[in-house]
Amino acid sequence: MRFPPEAESIDEIPEDWEPPSLGAGRDVRAVLAEVLPGIEYPQNGWGDYEGPGFSISTPVNEADDAPVAGVSLFIHGDSEAAAHAALAVADALKARAFGTGSGDFLTADCAQSAFDVWRAYRDRVLDQHAP
């Protein structure tokens, strides 16, 4: 989303804030296709991208001329490159990425630590559910 640039955390965003549009559906999909070469949009409107050691699914199913307020990236896999892909998407959309796992804005400075936190969480969950 195009979060307010002065906000250093989500808590600093007013409750009545309305995100500005990232562009029309066709334009947002074009940006994603530029940043994530080979992204495919099957009939369900979800974009699917295969990167090196990760994949991204993103539901950008707004009509071609409908405004898009935000883009969600569902990242799967075990690759540091995924955070950099998310940052590249945010940069190309002139937006800011927010890591739901960390609860913070994702930046180049914190991408590695956010990935490390996620990996530790994943390993802990897998260890708890191991047979």
CATH of the domain at 44: 3.30.1400
Residue 97 has pLDDT above 70, yes or no: yes
Residue 122 has pLDDT above 80, yes or no: no
Print the domain residue range for 102.
Answer: 10-128
Across 110-125, average pLDDT? 69
Q: Is residue 3 part of a domain?
A: no
Q: Is residue 50 part of a domain?
A: yes
Q: Is residue 90 part of a domain?
A: yes
Comparing 26-40, 61-75, 76-90, 108-122, the range with the smallest average pLDDT is 108-122
- The domain total for the chain is 1
Q: Is residue 5 part of a domain?
A: no
**pLDDT tens profile 26-64:** 999 999 999 999 999 887 778 999 999 899 999 998 999
Residue 105 has pLDDT above 90, yes or no: no
Nearest-angstrom CA–CA distance, 88 and 55: 15
Residue 78 has pLDDT above 90, yes or no: no
Nearest-angstrom CA–CA distance, 39 and 99: 21
Q: Is residue 2 part of a domain?
A: no
Q: Is residue 69 part of a domain?
A: yes
Q: Is residue 40 part of a domain?
A: yes
Nearest-angstrom CA–CA distance, 35 and 33: 6
Nearest-angstrom CA–CA distance, 44 and 83: 25
Which has the higher per-residue pLDDT, 115 or 93? 93
**pLDDT tens profile 4-32:** 999 988 899 999 999 999 999 999 999 99
Q: What is the pLDDT of residue 130?
A: 67
The set of residues, in sequence order, having a beta carbon less than 8 Å from that of 50 and lying 6+ positions away, is 38
Which has the higher per-residue pLDDT, 89 or 122? 89
